[in-house]
């Protein structure tokens, strides 16, 4: 374990992306290293079989990006991640198994500072597709600014999910808060949801870009930290004060003519499912100027079309400021479209939402 703080990894910039691969499986270390080394502009500088070895090799090689297995002996991925972010912060992409425990640990890793994650292949038959995802996410991670990976606030450990939090039907004067996020989103959502007052006269709807199998764990974590009851959206749900509905991973969430939730697996929009624009544009006809929208950290442009429609309908649009975004993509697109009423750093987003709700 590293006793002193190592130098922070410099941004990869235009040079080769130097990667440390950490996995207790010799097959996975070999496979990940092979695919990364074959990708243009990427070099695996070392590999480690557990977290303790990883910390030693980070100090020695100063990699730009670390791929880190969640489940390892001696020192697991979460323990190693905490040490990395405390002593040698740099972009980390987690490798996770698609199990209940794996999903819970992956969501925790994302709130601790990991940039992104990849689900391990279920069999050797789909290794190639997963490795392509690893390559893409390592490239994206290398563009992240190290200073934005640190946790924005110290938060209490989540409590067990609660089902007895007060909820009620919307009144005509109540608002609907929509929050959209992508890369870096779980940690940002944790900050925002923990900051919202439990008595806020507003329903909440959340879309986080995430595959199937992981959003339930995210909802449970947010529920344990928030005054809101947070859960995955189910068909037939309607927005309610005190309730935050999270789009299930792998499904588009839309609200029908009666403002009831529907789920579908129509093709991805802008490469993602769930898509922010899909949900947001379905909410506008029902709530118009009563909508308060916050677009948080993430790559790409998802959320811009929906925010534009909200702006045109007289709703309120908030974009996260560049200074706190893990990736300043989606909020930048909203700001450059000229539809953001407020641009605020992450610690101020909850207050900005509350001001908009109570105005």
The single residue of 23, 96, 174, 209 carrying the catalytic annotation is 209
DSSP for 18-86, written as a single string? EEEEE-S-HHHHHHHHHHHHHSTTEEEEEEESSHHHHHHHHHHH--SEEEEESS-SSS-HHHHHHHHHH
CA dihedral 315, 204, 237, 302 (to 10 degrees): 70
Cβ count within 10 A of residue 23? 26
CB count within 10 Å of CB 101 equals 12
In the chain, the DSSP E strands lie at 17-22, 42-48, 65-69, 92-96, 116-119, 168-169, 175-181, 202-208, 229-232, 240-241, 243-246, 252-255, 261-264, 291-295, 316-320, 342-344
Catalytic hit among 23, 116, 174, 302: 302
Of 182, 217, 282, 333, which residue is the catalytic one?
182
Degrees, nearest 5: CA angle 185-105-12: 55
Contact 306, 340 (CB under 8 A): no
The whole-angstrom separation of Cα 252 and Cα 167 is: 24
Q: Identify whether 182 is a catalytic site residue.
A: yes
Give the whole-angstrom CA distance, residue 46 versus residue 8.
Answer: 18
Cβ burial, residue 102 (10 Å; 0-12/13-18/19+): buried
- Cis ω on the peptide bond leading into residue 72 (within 30° of 0)? no
Question: Distance between CA atoms of 89 and 95, rounded to whole angstroms?
Answer: 18
Q: Is 209 a catalytic residue?
A: yes
Is residue 139 within 8 A of residue 255, CB to CB? The reply is no
Which active-site residues does the annotation give?
182, 209, 302
């Amino acid at each position: 374990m590293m006793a002193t703080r190592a130098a922070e990894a410099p941004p990869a910039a235009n040079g080769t992306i130097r990667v440390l691969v950490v996995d207790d499986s010799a097959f996975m270390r070999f496979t990940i290293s092979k695919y990364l080394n074959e990708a243009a502009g990427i070099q695996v500088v070392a590999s480690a079989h557990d977290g303790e070895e990883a910390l030693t090799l980070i100090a020695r090689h100063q990699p730009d990006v670390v791929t880190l297995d969640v489940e390892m002996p001696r020192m697991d991925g979460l323990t190693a991640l905490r040490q990395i972010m405390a002593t040698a912060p740099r972009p980390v992409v987690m490798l996770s198994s698609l199990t209940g425990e794996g999903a819970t640990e992956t969501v925790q890793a994302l709130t601790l500072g990991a940039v992104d994650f990849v689900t391990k292949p279920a069999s050797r038959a789909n290794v190639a597709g997963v490795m392509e995802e690893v390559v893409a996410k390592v490239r994206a991670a290398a563009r992240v600014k190290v200073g934005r990976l640190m946790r924005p606030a110290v938060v209490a450990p989540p409590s067990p999910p609660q089902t007895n939090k007060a909820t009620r039907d919307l009144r005509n004067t109540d608002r609907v808060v929509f929050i959209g996020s992508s890369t870096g989103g779980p940690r940002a959502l944790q900050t925002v949801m923990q900051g919202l007052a439990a008595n806020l006269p507003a329903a909440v709807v959340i879309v986080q870009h995430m595959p199937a199998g992981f959003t339930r764990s995210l909802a449970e974590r947010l529920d344990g930290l928030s005054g809101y009851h947070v859960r995955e959206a189910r068909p037939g749900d309607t927005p309610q004060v005190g309730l935050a509905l999270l789009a299930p991973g792998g499904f588009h969430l839309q609200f029908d003519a009666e403002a009831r939730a529907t789920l579908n697996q129509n093709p991805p929009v802008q490469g993602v499912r769930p898509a922010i624009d899909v949900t947001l544009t379905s909410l506008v006809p029902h709530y118009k100027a009563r909508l308060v929208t916050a677009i948080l950290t993430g790559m790409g442009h998802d959320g811009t079309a929906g925010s534009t429609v909200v702006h045109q309908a007289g709703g309120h649009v908030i974009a996260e400021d560049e200074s706190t975004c893990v990736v300043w993509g989606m909020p930048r697109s909203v700001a450059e479209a000229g539809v953001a009423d407020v641009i605020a750093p992450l610690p101020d987003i909850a207050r900005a939402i509350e001001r908009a709700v109570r105005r």
